[in-house]
Structure 1
Amino acid sequence: MESNYAPLTEACAKALSDKTYEKRKAAALEIEKMVSEFNKAKNANQIRKLLNLLGNDFSISRDSNKRKGGLIGLAAVSIGLGKDSEKFINELVRPILNCLADPELKVRYFASESLYNVVKVARGAIVPLFPDIFSALSRLVTDPDQSDIVTESSQTFDLDSFIPLIRERVYPNNSFSRQFVISWISVLNAVPEINMVVYLPEILDGLFQMLEDNMVEIHRMCETLLSQFLRSIQNDPNAADMAKMSNILIIHAQSTNELIQYTAIIWIRDFVQLSGPKMLSFASGIFTAILPCLAYEGDSRKHIKETAQAVNKTMLELVSSKSDMSQIFKHLDLDSIMEVLRQYLAHSSVDTKVAVLKWIHHLFTEAKDKMSAHASGLFPVLLGILSDNSDEVVLQGLIVLAEIVDTTNTTDTNINKTHYRKFLISLLNLFSEEKPFLENRGSLIIRQLCVLLNAEFIYRTFAEIILEETVNVKFASIMVRTLHTILVTSSELFELRSQLKDIRNEKAASLFQCLYKSWCHCPISTLSLCLLSQCYQHCSELVLIFGDLEITVEFITEIDKLVQLIESPIFASLRLTLVSNNKNRADAKHLSQALFGILMLLPQTEAFKCLSNRLQCVPNYWGMPNEVNDSQSIQCQSKIDFNDLLNYFQKIQRNHHLHRINQRKRTVALWDGEISKDGR
């Protein structure tokens, strides 16, 4: 009599329904052997009869053990059929898909395992059923009990073999596939016995790419998962291989997708805080990622900019003299860092350029010796920065230049004159080549240099360069006028002005003579310098010589400005000299003569009236030559040879006169040439 479970034997059917997995597995092996023989004999009827039994009896039984047996039996049939499984694919797969929705957790687990075995054997034959399979799996990944399956099997779960499968599938373009992968990673991450952070470097790149999915749900799931991973790293930084993940984060921090970029920069921020100096090995990459973010404007990307600023601030704090710098520089690749910083000096954003300049200054401050090799390469770039439209950028550039100049000779306490001179020559060349640059930025640059460096030496060096190396007398005149205006009006030069007021002091006298010879290129600046230095007798002699000079509109304008300057607070002491006591009457007499001489040079303008009114308040020193002792004047008490200076002034002015004559000749020659061309 045929068994009710034909073609299975009673014993096999009973074992297949047993509660123990081992007995069900033994029965499955018997089924596999049986099906293999049926297939060789081409006995399709028996195979279909067996599939019907397993699919319509076992797999829908009320007994869960019997359903489990049906599932393992279906997998055994597929293995027994091998490539011929495609002939029976519907009978094999449909019952399994139904069991994926089984109310019992373990049945769903065995259904997943059975489906895997069938698909592995049938391969391409399952394509027609793929929509149904995918739908069933999608429902399964949202199964709240699936983590329990993994948890219960965590001791036997081969994670090392499973992670490569995840890694291979972490780059899908299909949203549903992404959802499937994210769900599985979330399940594994939720298992206490499994530390997914260890495997994070292998899947992090794919997770970040999923953030650009068009489905909001995928964004939410992926953001949640990444947040969980980051929280795990924060709780146990030693468990994470931050070095392996850093380059991945740097790449995504440059993404055009705001969510990806923001998330990556948050991770970088936390890595820098958690890992400390070790992250400095990635400094050049981090700069490449965050420096452009500092340029962001508007509320839409404000959060990205603020996070990038936080990263930058923490990085600056890491490279600090408070730290062990020998350890810090083990991680810093200065060559690659400087390459990136130089690149971003050309960025259009003010905030980015200022941040770069602050970094360069910081590196020179903290590592003078190591950064000295980069000084020469930075010099031309930084000089170019001085032409920037932003005052903030220019000022920060000057701070860096000043630091470089001061750090080029770190072993010597004296000022490195050679490097100062080289820098100031380059600056003067820039002023000479670009007149708008001198007009718009000259005063700002010179004033700040005097604050940052040694004001006296700055002025001495400028004067020496103009005297020795400037061929263009017209530019020399303009430059002297600029330097003198800054000298007599800028609050930053107060100490230098005070020093020049007493040329009886040898150091002040030396400075005065140095400036005077260059100042000779501009007569009114020379006169003003002498007024400032209280060389009043020489002032009166200069004014007399002015009568022999070519009086131009520009000359009169400069005298007009000088009168305004005399009325300013800076020359208050000069005005008081006019009414001084007997001790200073020699200075008062010569000053009065000089001012009356200036008055005679002026046309009757407002400046004339102003100075005339001032001089009406002055005592008459003209009729008292015997009562004034010139030896008591400040000029006479100095050791300066003013006759020599006066001769030098006249020599320079003759050169200017010749220059003007030659220039006019060239202009006439050009006109003649143009007329000749027109005549032809």
Structure 2
Amino acid sequence: MADAFSVIPASVLRNLSDKLYEKRKNAALEIEGIVKQLASSGDHEKISAVIKLLATEFTGSPQANHRKGGLIGLAAATVGLSSEAAQHLEQIVPPVLSSFSDQDSRVRYYACEALYNIAKVVRGDFIIFFNKIFDALCKLSADSDANVQSAAHLLDRLVKDIVTESDQFSIEEFIPLLRERMNVLNPYVRQFLVGWITVLDSVPDIDMLGFLPDFLDGLFNMLSDSSREIRQQADSALSEFLLEIKNSPSVDYGRMAEILVQRAAALDEFTRLTAITWINEFVKLGGDQLFPYYADILGAILPCISDKEEKIRVVARETNEALRSIEANPTENFDVGGILSIARRQLDSEWEATRIEALHWISTLLNRHRAEVLCFLNDIFDTLLKALSDSSDEVVLLVLDIHACIAQDPPHFRQLVVFLVHNFRIDHSLLERRGALIIRRLCVLLDAERVYRELSTILEGEADLDFACVMVQALNLILLTSSELSELRELLKQSLVNAAGKDLFVSLYASWCHSPMAIISLCLLAQTYQHACAVIQSLVEEDINAKFLVQLDKLIRLLETPVFAYLRLQTIHMVAESIIWSFDAASTAKFCIQGFAKTFKNCAIILFRWW
């Protein structure tokens, strides 16, 4: 310290701490000249003493003017050292950096000015302090004083120039520093960070793309900033990176896919659109790298298919189709169970389009990886059954297609029908709203005779007799009226002459007995008229209650439909023959009615009113 006082006049030191800027500036110029002379003579010991004096007695002083003078003095000493300044930077730079957090805004301003002048002198040698300087600049970019911000911006531009031309800059050491700050919300800091990302990405020798996963989430976070300028800067940076990804032979798709999946569910529409656009490109470019992430990607795509924004819906659908068109092998980290789990969860979506696409995925996996899907059947089966209650007919039909595909195996077929009857039992409204649709579709997909035989077997031993009656009535109505079951009706009509028809009639008979009207209509369909009369006569002791009359009315209406046209024609033929042989129409009519009179009394007249 004594050496410093011996080479710097006391008047210079007094002026260096003067309140007037001009005096401090003149003192700094004198220090510059003194240091230059010492450097030319190679007296670095005294130079170190001068720098120490400026750092301790001035920049560390409690007096603001002393601190300002110390900063100007350190910059002047660096200018005086010129090309030899590098060996003294460890003494010069730290006290300047400390001044960036000074409470006095003017001191912070002079710190920016001092470091700017120091950087101009040392250029590349300056890089060893880069991380600390970057940290300081990051804070100053949001400084409360506009003059300090302006000075920090000038310094920032110079530092960027130095970094872009330096071969000593370490991107590996810088990235952790960048990553820590990427989720800062301050708009000035965000602009500062995006600026650095853009500049470093423009340097050919710096591989920012390789470190993109470290700060990608932060960039996406900026897309929803309240400042339009920041949103545009972040979008521009992301667009440039996506272009580089398309042209790069090696990209870490996996880590970025995890980030994009999260951002695809963002509240901000622009963020969602950007994320789903990136995912779309990744699906096209990523190949087998993305196999382990397909489930997560699908989890992001399916909700976006029903997004309120059309642009997002369009990209999501395109991505979904591209993803489904890729045929992957489970041995290649393709997680069938994970994708099934995502599809199952999306069946609870409030949006019909999403539920439909989830079902398409289950169907696709069944077709391509049947064995693997059946291994997870217990995880999805209940959900698929619940989906039969869906408000959308299209969803229900797709669910039935999947059930039919699963039920190709006999054990699964039995399980499906058992669960279906169970669901109808616990939810009668499902039987009323969807029963006909479900049964008819299954008959088309799985063979009507097979379906009806299985249902009959299950209902034959049904303990809940009221439910069994309702279920049989529903099955009977479908059997008699649905075009899909026309072949089954034709087979039953041949019951008296065809062994297969007889076997089917017997198979249905036991369960159809749960409903008097169902068994009567079955007998009439099978043309077992004598047995029909026997059944009618057996009902003589039955209570004629409201339910009975409702079912009777339905039977009467059915007898007037085209399906029983043959019965009406046979009756007319029978009556005509009776008239021809007996010439007593009244007697014939009386004879025909007598078989029903004991049970239905006056109702029989209604039953055959079409005579």
After TM superposition, the score normalised by the length of structure 1 is: 0.69
Q: Is the 8 A contact 1:147 1:190 kept in 2?
A: no
Q: 1:121 to 1:274 in 2, by over 3 A?
A: closer
Picking from 464, 473, 485, the partner of 2:457 is 464
Secondary structure at the aligned position of 2:430 is classed as helix
1:477 CA displacement: 2.0
In 1, Cα distance between equivalents of 2:169 and 2:131:
20
Please say if 1:227 is aligned against 2:239.
yes
Picking from 271, 275, 279, the partner of 1:268 is 279
Partner of 1:331: 333
Partner of 1:365: 367
Percentage of matched positions with identical amino acids: 31
In 1, Cα distance between equivalents of 2:262 and 2:367:
30
Q: 1:40 to 1:531 in 2, by over 3 A?
A: closer
Please say if 1:254 is aligned against 2:273.
no
Q: Is the 8 A contact 1:52 1:91 kept in 2?
A: no
Code of the aligned partner of 1:227: S
Q: Deviations over 1:84-107 (max 9, x none)?
A: 9979997996386389699xxx95
Please say if 1:159 is aligned against 2:180.
no
Please say if 1:242 is aligned against 2:234.
no
Q: Deviations over 1:459-509 (max 9, x none)?
A: 111112222x21233332222111100001112212211222222221111
1:177 CA displacement: 0.9
In 2, Cα distance between equivalents of 1:289 and 1:14:
68
Secondary structure at the aligned position of 2:373 is classed as helix
Partner of 1:557: 550
In 1, Cα distance between equivalents of 2:373 and 2:435:
28
Code of the aligned partner of 1:208: F
Please say if 1:529 is aligned against 2:522.
yes
In 2, Cα distance between equivalents of 1:95 and 1:559:
100
Picking from 293, 307, 315, the partner of 2:315 is 307
Q: Deviations over 1:289-341 (max 9, x none)?
A: 33333454x4xx333344333333222222xxxx4x5x354222233333433
Partner of 2:565: 572
Please say if 1:499 is aligned against 2:488.
no
In 2, Cα distance between equivalents of 1:118 and 1:166:
10
Partner of 1:94: 110
Q: 1:37 to 1:260 in 2, by over 3 A?
A: closer
Please say if 1:134 is aligned against 2:149.
yes
Please say if 1:473 is aligned against 2:465.
yes
Code of the aligned partner of 2:316: A
Picking from 343, 346, 360, the partner of 1:344 is 346
In 1, Cα distance between equivalents of 2:361 and 2:388:
17
Partner of 1:676: none
Secondary structure at the aligned position of 1:386 is classed as helix
How do 1:408-423 and structure 2 match up within 5 A? Answer: 409=409, 416=410, 418-423=411-416
1:12 CA displacement: 3.5
Q: 1:10 to 1:427 in 2, by over 3 A?
A: closer
In 1, Cα distance between equivalents of 2:528 and 2:594:
15
1:264 CA displacement: 1.9
Please say if 1:35 is aligned against 2:54.
no
Picking from 398, 401, 414, the partner of 1:399 is 401
Q: Deviations over 1:230-270 (max 9, x none)?
A: 1211222x331111211122222233333333322222222
Code of the aligned partner of 2:113: L
Q: 1:220 to 1:31 in 2, by over 3 A?
A: farther
After TM superposition, the score normalised by the length of structure 2 is: 0.76
Q: 1:383 to 1:10 in 2, by over 3 A?
A: closer
Q: 1:336 to 1:289 in 2, by over 3 A?
A: same
1:553 CA displacement: 3.8
Secondary structure at the aligned position of 2:389 is classed as coil
Q: Is the 8 A contact 1:253 1:264 kept in 2?
A: yes
Code of the aligned partner of 2:424: F
Q: Is the 8 A contact 1:150 1:191 kept in 2?
A: no
In 1, Cα distance between equivalents of 2:96 and 2:163:
33
How do 1:595-674 and structure 2 match up within 5 A? Answer: 596=593, 611-612=608-609, 614-615=610-611
Q: Is the 8 A contact 1:68 1:110 kept in 2?
A: no
In 2, Cα distance between equivalents of 1:211 and 1:294:
21
Secondary structure at the aligned position of 1:171 is classed as coil
Q: 1:189 to 1:435 in 2, by over 3 A?
A: same
Q: Deviations over 1:130-183 (max 9, x none)?
A: 844433333566x6x987765544x55433333333233323221111101101
Q: Is the 8 A contact 1:208 1:252 kept in 2?
A: yes
Partner of 1:291: 302
1:546 CA displacement: 4.5
Q: Is the 8 A contact 2:55 2:95 kept in 1?
A: no
Q: Is the 8 A contact 2:283 2:322 kept in 1?
A: yes
